Amino acid sequence: MDVKKVVYYMATKEDVDHVARRVYGMLEKSLQLEELDILVDGKPVMRYIDKNHYIYDFVRTDKVVCHDYRRYLPVMMERFSDYDVAGLITWHEGENAPDGILSVHTTGDVETGNFGKANPRFMHNILIALEKYRKMENLDDFFVTTEATHWSGIVYGDIGPEAILEYEIPIMDIEIGSSEDSWSNENAVRALAMSLLEIFSDDNLQLKNILCAGGTHFERGFSGEIFNTWEGQGFGISHVIPNQWLVSGEYENESGRDKLKECVASIEGGIQGIAMHDGLKGAYKQQLRNLGEELGIPVFKHQFLRKPEKIQWGS
């Protein structure tokens, strides 16, 4: 039997994380959790096993793991490196951030070209689950969205972005944003909590994995199309590299080409297409076209995500 395993990291110490403590509390009330003999920050790791014998481990921490990565990385490597996927449950905020969001993003530092492992199938499953529970919880003022690939350790941590590569399993941030009203919304907390248990629930669509490039941090040109399906197929979303970091990372140069290759190499199953935002400057579009030609895959404007059946996916 193929026993799948996921580990979720949650900063549950009071007044540390606006979302994680609430999500864990919801799970604790809803599930029969088993206490393991693994301690992190003095708290036992808790386990749930579903009817398929899939394993869900919940690691409660005093800090958000990427905010003190130098301290948490050793235990992550020692105890949780043989899992299929990991999730960091946290909050989102920002001066220009949209409110009423359930968001997911992969880990990486686009500027330096350090991209964490990404699994489009698991990200697809989480996004589908979030949308399902958003509707079930009547969260009409919320929407499900992807974010640009990033790593908060750059802002909060004392360790370089190359540390992202040391933890070699796919990890995603799964968040509620971006205000106190959203973080404390019980229905949103429940929607996120229940979605965590469906990361292995497959809708059996054949996924076309795509790399998304250009646009803004919350690019609706990409995230607005993620639920499109056609002829038993759907999109496999993972890394999203926005315009600002393409520019600051000098992706128009030869080093940028190498970074793009590293990005693609980090995506499990590779990619079958590249969606580029129409607002990208010519030098970046050309880099993406060159990469597509080298990989033998289509490169297309983001508007084609609305009509995927017209994309010439190739063999």
What is the tens place of the pLDDT at every residue in 220-242?
A: 999 999 999 999 999 999 999 99
Question: Which residue type sits at 9?
Answer: Y
Q: What pLDDT, in 10s, does the model give residues 253-304? A: 999 999 999 999 999 999 999 999 999 999 999 999 999 999 999 999 999 9
Res. 151: pLDDT tops 90 = yes
Q: What is the mean pLDDT of residues 80-93?
A: 97
308 and 208 in contact (C-beta within 8 Å)?
Answer: yes
Least confident of 24-38, 149-163, 280-294: 149-163
Res. 315: pLDDT tops 70 = no
96 pLDDT band, cuts 50/70/90, is confident
* Residue 208: strand, helix, or coil: strand
Would you report the helix, strand and coil content of the chain in percent, each value rounded to 5? 35, 25, 35
Task: Please tell me the pTM assigned to this model.
Answer: 0.97
Query: Nearest to residue 144, comparing CAs of 182, 102, 186, 185?
Result: 102
pLDDT at 154: 84
8 pLDDT band, cuts 50/70/90, is very high
Q: Give the chain's mean pLDDT.
A: 96
What is the torsional sign of CA 227, 229, 232, 236? negative
Query: Nearest to residue 196, comparing CAs of 15, 1, 22, 34?
Result: 22
Q: How far apart are CA 237 and CA 222, in angstroms?
A: 9
pLDDT at 314: 67
Q: How far apart are CA 76 and CA 62, in angstroms?
A: 14
